[in-house]
């Protein structure tokens, strides 16, 4: 469904036969959906206290429909200047066997009147 909504017509996302022809075991979860899961981890955590300003990620293993995908974020660096206060967070998505699917980095900017908890 995500592929349909985002106009991604690549058959590996909805046709098992097409996925197998391309050397995959089954249809695969779209990389952009994995990025959305990573963004949600951050935005659910910060709520209205901050803004997800930047997110980068690289998918290193295909995720298959039906797998549980576990997304995590870890605070890396805290940066404070006169203009803004922000965190750099490491983000990961893994499958239920704790095999890494994707990793990346998020920049979380806090409003001037908010502090991190």
Number of structural domains found in the chain: 1
For the full predicted model, state whether its pTM sits above 0.85: no
- Is residue 80 one of the residues assigned to a domain? yes
> For the segment 69-116, what is each residue's pLDDT rounded down to a tens digit?
999 999 999 988 888 889 999 999 999 999 999 999 999 998 765 444
Report helix, strand or coil for 38. Answer: helix
CB 67 within 8 A of CB 95: yes
Which residue range forms the structural domain that includes residue 91?
Answer: 31-110
- Is residue 85 one of the residues assigned to a domain? yes
CB 102 within 8 A of CB 60: yes
- Is residue 5 one of the residues assigned to a domain? no
Are β-strands 85-94 and 100-110 bridged in parallel, bridged antiparallel, or unpaired? antiparallel
The reported pLDDT for the residue numbered 89 is 96
C-alpha closest to that of 102 among 65, 63, 44: 63
For 110, half-sphere exposure in the C-beta direction (CA atoms, 13 angstrom radius) is 18
Distance CA 106, CA 38 (A): 9
- Is residue 17 one of the residues assigned to a domain? no
- Is residue 101 one of the residues assigned to a domain? yes
- Is residue 13 one of the residues assigned to a domain? no
Report helix, strand or coil for 18. Answer: helix
- Is residue 106 one of the residues assigned to a domain? yes
The reported pLDDT for the residue numbered 114 is 46
């Amino acid at each position: 469904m995500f592929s349909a909504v985002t106009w991604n017509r690549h058959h590996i996302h909805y046709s098992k036969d097409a996925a197998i022809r391309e050397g995959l075991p089954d249809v695969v979860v779209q990389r952009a959906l994995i990025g959305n899961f990573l963004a949600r981890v951050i935005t659910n955590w910060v709520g209205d206290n901050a803004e997800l300003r930047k997110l980068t990620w690289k998918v290193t293993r295909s995720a298959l429909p039906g797998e549980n995908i576990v997304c995590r974020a870890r605070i890396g660096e805290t940066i404070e200047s006169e203009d803004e206060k922000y965190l750099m967070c490491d983000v990961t998505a893994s499958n239920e066997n704790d095999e890494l699917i994707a990793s990346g980095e998020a920049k979380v900017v806090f409003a001037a009147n908010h502090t991190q908890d």
